[in-house]
């Protein structure tokens, strides 16, 4: 338990350091979002380590050439996505970079069916694509979220990349913690399993607890974040429209919590199919990076899409 606590604390400190660099790192007169790039480096590290864990767990399910293609995709797509998002933002540069990179990867893997026909199988191609999607492709959405700008219509509402990142890394732990507490202490009274064939330890009451945690975490985030904005004189709009924006935050938190639970189940499925207990050993007591960010990757998808929807309607 102590080892788990220590490794978890180190993880939180790394995240906090990356977020502080995002907020306070100057651009040194370049006009570029250097702070955002610092947080991209953290995402980049997650992608590289996660890809290594995924390919190692697959063992001989992929060939060396396929592994090289997946590593090349991971090494190239995140920095390219970040730069294109900054330099070609008006044209959806980041999304185009991700889509183009994945297309090149798919063509390269299919080409190996011809070039290395004896070594390559349809199953190995599918496994390679999975290793590229999980985690790198999903983490590219975190890069896009990290580069959401201060749109003129949303700046007064405090809706930018800063709050999106906080939503992902603050509400998700609340959901996980409440899911654990509800499952731990109410399991005897409500023993119904959530997905017994995938993760026997997860219960419906734990899932409900996670949703409740999402409500609590998003409400705390709403008041804390906007208290800071109000104190800095940046925004008072959200307090003036609390009847609208607090429910919006809570809805996002509930959706994020549900998707986080789904991400945990996906990770459990992957490990069960690969017949392993943990994806790695980098974080003692937790497992590997993928064991720690499984819910975060899927939470990113939900939060980013929710804020895209807000951007469209406000």
pLDDT tens digits, one per residue of 204-224: 999 999 999 999 999 999 888
Q: Which of 52, 110, 47 is nearest to 80 (CA)?
A: 47
Reported pTM: 0.91
Beta bridge partners of 199: 195
Cα–Cα distance, 272 to 140 (Å, whole number): 26
Cβ proximity of 150 and 269 under 8 Å: no
Cβ proximity of 149 and 161 under 8 Å: yes
Q: Which of 23, 65, 15 is nearest to 45 (CA)?
A: 15
CA 2 vs. chain centroid, Å, equals 26
* Per-residue model confidence (pLDDT) at position 234: 60
Q: How confident is the model at residue 237 (pLDDT cuts 50, 70, 90)?
A: low
Q: Which residue has the higher pLDDT, 298 or 307?
A: 298
* Per-residue model confidence (pLDDT) at position 189: 84
Cβ proximity of 8 and 293 under 8 Å: no
pLDDT averaged over the chain? 89
Provide the greatest CA pair distance for the chain: 66
> Which H or E run includes 203?
strand 199-203
285 CB-side CA count, 13 A: 11
* Per-residue model confidence (pLDDT) at position 16: 93
Query: Strands, DSSP E only, in 157-285?
Result: 193-195, 199-203
Averaged pLDDT for residues 219-237:
75
Averaged pLDDT for residues 105-123:
95
């Amino acid at each position: 338990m102590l080892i788990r606590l220590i490794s978890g604390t180190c993880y939180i400190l790394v995240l906090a350091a990356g977020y502080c660099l995002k907020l306070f790192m100057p651009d040194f007169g370049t006009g570029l979002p250097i702070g955002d790039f610092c947080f991209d480096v953290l995402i980049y590290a997650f992608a590289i380590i996660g890809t290594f864990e995924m390919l190692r767990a697959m063992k001989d399910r992929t060939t060396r050439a396929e592994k090289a293609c997946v590593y090349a995709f991971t090494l190239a797509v995140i920095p390219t996505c970040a730069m294109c998002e900054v330099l070609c933002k008006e044209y959806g540069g980041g999304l185009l970079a991700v889509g183009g990179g994945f297309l090149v990867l798919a063509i390269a893997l299919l080409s190996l069916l011809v070039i290395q026909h004896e070594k390559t199988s349809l199953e190995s191609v599918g496994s390679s694509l999975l290793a590229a999607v999980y985690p790198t492709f999903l983490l590219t959405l975190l890069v896009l979220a990290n580069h959401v700008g201060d749109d003129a219509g949303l700046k007064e509402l405090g809706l930018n990349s800063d709050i999106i990142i906080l939503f992902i890394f603050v509400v998700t732990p609340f959901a996980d913690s409440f899911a654990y507490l509800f499952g731990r202490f109410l399991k005897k009274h409500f023993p119904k399993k959530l997905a017994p064939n995938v993760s026997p330890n997860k219960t419906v009451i734990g899932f409900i607890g996670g949703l409740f945690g999402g409500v609590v975490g998003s409400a705390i985030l709403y008041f804390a974040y906007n208290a800071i904005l109000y104190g800095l004189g940046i925004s008072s709009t959200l307090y003036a429209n609390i009847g609208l924006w607090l429910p919006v935050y809570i809805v996002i938190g509930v959706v994020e919590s549900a998707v986080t639970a789904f991400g945990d189940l996906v990770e459990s499925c992957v490990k069960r199919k690969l017949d392993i207990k943990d994806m790695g050993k980098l974080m003692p007591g937790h497992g590997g990076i993928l064991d720690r960010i499984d819910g975060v990757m899927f939470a990113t998808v939900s939060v980013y899409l929710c804020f895209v929807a807000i951007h469209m309607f406000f």
